[in-house]
Structure 1
Amino acid sequence: MARRCELTGKGVQTGNLVSHSNRKTKRRFLPNLFNVTLQSDALDRSVRLRVSANALRSVEHRGGLDAFLAKAHEDELSQGARELKREIAKKTAAPAA
């Protein structure tokens, strides 16, 4: 399983661990990922995703999973999140037409 947030695309970054004597060795900065279950109001079901703590805060700030996915860019989302976004858009467009 890749260490990548499914909603924001945040992944592993690399950098240097710098010691007191200023020696530099490579290290990895891992994203703060959680397995969460989010509720979709449009689909009336829950969805399991692996998201970062930052993305979880953004979902809450924007008013839920549906609102977050409506504003999110397609290139940042994982394949599963893209399909979920399309399902939600289709579901919300159907009653209005």
Structure 2
Amino acid sequence: MSRRCELTGKAVQTGNLVSHSNRKTRTRFLPNLVNVSLISDSLQRSVRLRIAAAALRSVEHRGGLDAFLLKAHDAELSMNALKLKREIAKKLEAVQV
């Protein structure tokens, strides 16, 4: 399982730890990933995702999982989240017609 947020695409970054004497040591900066169950209003079921803590705040800010996925770009979503986005769009389209 990769260390990548399924909703925002946030991943591992690399850089240097710099000491007081200006020595550089390579390090990895890991995203704060959490396993959460989010409820989809249109599908009326919960979905388990591995997302960053900042993404969880963004989901709440945008008004829930459905609204977040419909506004998100396809390039930054994981395959699981992309499939969920298409499922939600299809369900909402069927309700409007």
TM-score range, shorter chain: over 0.9
Q: Look up the equivalent residue of 1:58 and give its one-letter code.
A: S
Deviation of 1:95 (Å): 1.5
Moved over 6 A (4+): none
Normalising by structure 2, report the TM-score.
0.99
Ranges in structure 2 where 5+ consecutive residues have no aligned partner: none
Counterpart residue number, 2:28: 28
| SS of 2:43 mapped into structure 1 | coil
Equivalences for residues 21-60 of structure 1 within 5 A: 21-60=21-60
* Paired residue secondary structure (1:3): coil
Letter matched to residue 74 of structure 1: D
Unaligned 5+ segments in structure 1 are none
Offset of residue 96 of structure 1: 1.1
Count residues in correspondence: 97
Instruction: Provide the aligned C-alpha RMSD in A.
Output: 0.5
Q: How far apart are the structure 2 equivalents of 1:55 and 1:69?
A: 11
Residue of structure 2 in register with 1:6 after alignment: 6
**Partner letter of residue 68 of structure 2?**
F
